[in-house]
């Protein structure tokens, strides 16, 4: 039966809840409200190594053009949200320098792989009810769409000063997904129309609060609503494959994949009840919450050192995005910030890693140990590492370590 009019949004919303989404809103597709800001942000070089953000600018500005001819242009965006909040990380774990803190969205399986099939199911249901034969566009952080713009346009939440989508009563622990369809839908629950939002309105939403801006350990916020990824812990520990600037490393603390600090301090996220996500794949794996840093160097589970062990240990995890070398680099930074003499054997192994980016950070961490402790064996093997090291960047770091420059 072909369904039109006001009944279709209700059918879609009910099906989205059945599939496991927590929020479902609709908005007409027009020009992305903050496309000019995004283009200026890109032109300023903020994207760093995220070159994919520079592609498809016109489609990002006008998402209707994501439809591939001869299919009709997209007219409606179904904006969906998944609440992934589970519990606050106990301070005894979060503040333990011997453990590596992982962003809470990565405690479970990769949400992209969990949510994408659900979008396909939702689009199939819509096609069944409308008779449409062309496919909708299903995106989970994987296409040229400014999701937070459209979440605000649909009334799902507002963009906070920490650049996260915030929904009062829910906080910012939201995963966003969108489904673009050619059907023109109106939905009384999505009362906020698409279009430019006055800057004052956004400022009033967060009020005078600047907790996220002040709490950021690397000063990654240029200002409210303006993040410089190249100073952001999440960027360096997830997206970048390069050497982390020396000045930033001490500020990372023990965060080895992502960073939730600007969300943890947000008043909208305070005192949220513990919950279990509807989608079982998002449930936290205890081994991925705050693992002991030295665990992955053990002979029985060398997942920091061996690719096969890494792939097995982090099967279905978003942590695989950083790759083994990237994660070991991050772990070396955390070990250097711990700087306990107990880390020396692990750093010895890391200094033999085939990837220079790992050896650079292992040398830095070893230098932090030498600056804190008298450790003759460590100085000896650093000298031996310097004698055999072919990479100039690693050699520079080894020289600094041996000179006692942390």
The stretch 201-225 carries a mean pLDDT of 87
H or E segment at 221? strand 221-223
* pLDDT for res 310: 98
CA separation for the pair 193, 257 (Å, rounded): 36
> Given this model, what pLDDT does residue 378 score?
83
pLDDT digits (tens, 9 = 90+) for 16-49: 999 999 999 999 999 999 999 999 999 999 999 9
- For residues 364 and 154, what is the distance between their CA atoms, to the nearest angstrom? 47
Determine the pLDDT at residue 335: 98
Residues of the chain with pLDDT > 90, as a percent, come to 88
pLDDT of residue 348: 95
Angle at the Cα of 220 from the Cα atoms of 216 and 225, rounded to 5 degrees: 95
Per the residue annotation, which of 141, 226, 306, 340 is the catalytic one? 141
Going from N- to C-terminal start, the domains of the chain cover 7-83+110-206, 294-406
Token pair 């070990």: residue: 335
Mean per-residue pLDDT for 127-154? 95
Percentage, residues of the chain above pLDDT 70? 94
Region 48-63: mean pLDDT is 96
Look at the domain 294-406 and name its fold: 1.25.10
- SS3 assignment, position 69: coil
- Give me the mean pLDDT over the 113-134 stretch: 96
Q: At what angle do helices 376-388 and 356-372 cross, to 10 degrees?
A: 150
To the query of whether residue 391 is one of the catalytic residues in this protein, the response is no
| Residue 288 token pair | 């991925």
Token output for 277? 């996500």
Token output for 41: 């942000």
Q: Does residue 198 surpass a pLDDT of 90? A: no
Q: What is the mean pLDDT of the chain?
A: 93
Give the number of other Cβ atoms within 10 Å of residue 307's Cβ: 11
pLDDT at position 275 is 95
Question: Over the stretch 151-186, which tens digit does the pLDDT of each residue have?
Answer: 999 999 999 999 999 999 999 999 999 999 999 997
pLDDT at 375 over 90: no
C-alpha 8/C-alpha 93 separation (Å) is: 47
pTM score, two decimals?
0.93
Sequence-ordered list of residues with C-beta below 8 angstroms from that of 363, at least 6 positions apart, any chain: 351, 382, 385, 394, 397, 398, 400, 401
């Amino acid at each position: 039966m072909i369904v039109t009019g006001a009944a279709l949004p209700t059918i879609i919303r009910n099906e989205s809840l059945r599939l496991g989404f927590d929020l479902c809103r609709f908005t007409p597709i027009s020009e992305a409200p903050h496309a000019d800001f995004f283009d200026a942000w890109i032109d300023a070089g903020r994207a760093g190594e995220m070159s994919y953000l520079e592609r498809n600018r016109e489609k990002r500005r006008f998402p209707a053009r994501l439809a591939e001819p001869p299919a009709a242009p997209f007219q409606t965006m179904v904006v969906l949200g998944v609440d992934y909040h589970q519990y606050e990380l106990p301070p005894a774990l979060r503040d333990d320098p011997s453990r590596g803190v992982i962003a809470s969205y990565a405690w479970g399986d990769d949400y992209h792989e969990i949510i994408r099939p659900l979008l396909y199911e939702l689009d199939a249901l819509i096609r069944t009810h409308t008779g449409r034969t062309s496919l909708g566009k299903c995106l989970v952080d994987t296409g040229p769409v400014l999701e937070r713009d459209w979440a605000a346009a649909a009334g799902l939440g507002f963009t906070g000063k920490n650049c996260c989508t915030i929904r009062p009563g829910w906080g910012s622990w939201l995963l966003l997904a969108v489904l673009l369809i050619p059907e023109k839908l109106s939905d009384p629950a999505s009362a906020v129309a698409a279009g430019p939002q006055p800057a004052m309105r956004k400022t009033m939403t967060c009020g005078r609060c600047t907790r996220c801006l002040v709490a950021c350990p690397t000063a990654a916020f240029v200002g409210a609503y303006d993040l410089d990824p190249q100073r952001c812990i999440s960027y360096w520990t997830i997206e970048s494959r390069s050497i982390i600037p020396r000045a930033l490393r001490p500020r990372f603390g023990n965060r080895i994949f992502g960073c939730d600090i600007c969300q943890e301090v947000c008043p909208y996220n305070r005192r949220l009840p513990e919950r279990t996500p509807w989608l079982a794949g998002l449930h936290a794996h205890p081994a991925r919450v705050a693992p002991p840093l030295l665990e992955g160097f053990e002979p029985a589970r060398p997942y920091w050192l061996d690719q096969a062990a890494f792939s097995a240990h982090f099967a279905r995890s978003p942590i695989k995005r950083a790759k083994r070398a990237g994660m070991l680099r991050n772990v070396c930074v955390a070990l250097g910030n711990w700087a306990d003499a107990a880390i020396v054997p692990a750093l010895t192994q890391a200094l033999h890693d085939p990837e220079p980016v790992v050896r650079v950070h292992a040398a830095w961490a070893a230098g932090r140990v030498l600056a804190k402790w008298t450790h003759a064996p460590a100085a000896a093997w650093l000298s031996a590492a310097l004698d055999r090291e072919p990479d100039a960047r690693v050699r520079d770091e080894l020289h600094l370590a041996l000179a006692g420059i942390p």
